[in-house]
Amino acid sequence: MKITDINLTVVGVPRHTGFINKHIIVKVSSNEGLVGIGEMSDFSHLPRYAPDVEDLKNVLKSVLVGENPFDIMKLNKELAGNFPEAMYYYEKGSFIRNGIDAALHDLCAKYLGISVADMLGGRIREKIKVCYPIFRMRFMEEVEENVEVVRKRLNQGFDVFRLYVGKNLDADEAFLDAVKREFGNQVKIKSLDFSHLLDWKTALKAVKRLTKYDLGLEMIESPAHANDHEGFHHIRMRTDYPISEHVWSTRQQYEMIKHDSVDIFNVSPVFIGGLTAAKRAAAAAEVAGKSVILGTTQELSIGTAAMAHLGAALVNLTYTSDPTGPELYIGDVVKNRVQYKDGYLHIPERGITGLGIELDEELIETYRVDDLRWGEVSVHQLQDRTAQTKI
Residues acting as catalytic residues: 90, 164
- Tell whether 42 is in a known binding site: yes
- Tell whether 386 is in a known binding site: no
- Tell whether 240 is in a known binding site: no
- Tell whether 385 is in a known binding site: yes
- Tell whether 49 is in a known binding site: no
- Tell whether 89 is in a known binding site: yes
- Tell whether 15 is in a known binding site: yes
- Tell whether 304 is in a known binding site: no
- Tell whether 260 is in a known binding site: no
Kindly report the backbone phi and psi dihedral angles of residue 62, in degrees, each rounded to the nearest multiple of 5, phi listed first. Answer: -65, -30
Side chain identity at residue 102, one-letter code: A
Cβ neighbours of residue 341 closer than 8 Å, sequence gap 6 or more: 127, 157
CA-to-CA distance for 91 and 42, rounded, in angstroms? Answer: 11
**End-to-end CA distance of the chain, in Å?**
53
- Tell whether 233 is in a known binding site: no
Which phi-psi region, left, alpha or beta, contains residue 26 (left: φ > 0; alpha: ψ -120 to 50)? Answer: beta
Which residues are known binding-site members?
A: 15, 42, 45, 89, 193, 221, 246, 296-297, 385
Where is the binding site for substrate, in residues?
15, 89, 296, 385
Q: Which residues are annotated as a binding site for Mg(2+)?
A: 42, 45, 193, 221, 246, 297
